Amino acid sequence: MISGMAFSQKNDDRLTPWFFGVNGGVNFSKTYNNDTFAQNFTGRNKTGFNLSGLISYDFSDYVSINSGVGIISKGYRIHNDTLSTNFKISRSIPAINIPLGLTFRQQFNKSRFITERVGLVLNYSFPSDSDTLYNGSNRKFRIVETNVTPLYPLFYLGIGLGGSTSKGDRYEFGLSYQQPFGREMELHVAGGEFLNKNFLLNYRGGNLQATFTYHFNLGNFKKSDDYFY
């Protein structure tokens, strides 16, 4: 018991307020909710992934500032319900995200906590200036994408449930929503006979994320001054 207490004390002494984190998970995105679809057309959620590296600094046991850089794949799905085959166009859009925000923690006990996260994300997407997508070889409907703003900010808000390890690292399961301030693309949809039914949609890049994050305390990477033989 004495040996274990001594090891724990030495480990606590080496901990720092700096953490390096790895974050990964899935996200769900779609076209702008307030847009109006033509009859027999519907929008569906597109499932994507996100992976990022994070750096954070603890101002106290309860507040941290966070930043990092990551990649995200999001997009949209449009269905033409009059078709029995090749009835959808599914689009994945890769992007780089750079977040900056605050995390607030409330402890259940020494090793369990809940979190609230708030901040901004700078998004840069990689679509072409203009692209045309078809539902398949029969080409019964199409979407013409027009890029509006590939670089734009988003506001994010999230909650999480996490814990601390015996070495001072932290882990967290979280949900967050990213809300854009503008729009990324215009989508000109055409369907029907001879593609004569046309309507406009907007893709803004908002998304809901479910993630797992592991934060490594940088103090655990320091070389120990103690040598055992």
The arithmetic mean of pLDDT across residues 89-110, rounded, is: 94
Of 71, 73, 72, 76, nearest to 29 (Cα)?
76
Using the Cα atoms of residue 136, residue 138, residue 142 and residue 144 in order, give the sign of their dihedral. Answer: positive
Q: What percent of the chain has pLDDT over 90?
A: 72
Helix, strand or coil, per DSSP, at residue 36 = coil
Please state, for a pLDDT cut of 70, what percent of the chain lies above it.
90
Mean pLDDT of the region 117-133: 89
Q: Which residues in 130-143 are b (16+ Cβ under 10 Å) and which e?
A: eeeeebeeeebbeb
Average pLDDT over residues 12-37: 92
Burial code (b: 16+ CB inside 10 Å, e: under 16) for 198-224 equals: eeebbbbbbbbbebebbbbbbbeeeee
Residue type, 178: Q
Whether residue 225 has pLDDT greater than 60: no
Using CB atoms within 10 Å of the CB of residue 87, give its burial: 0 to 12 exposed, 13 to 18 middle, 19+ buried: middle
**What's the pLDDT score for residue 25?**
97
Residue with tokens 């999230």: 158
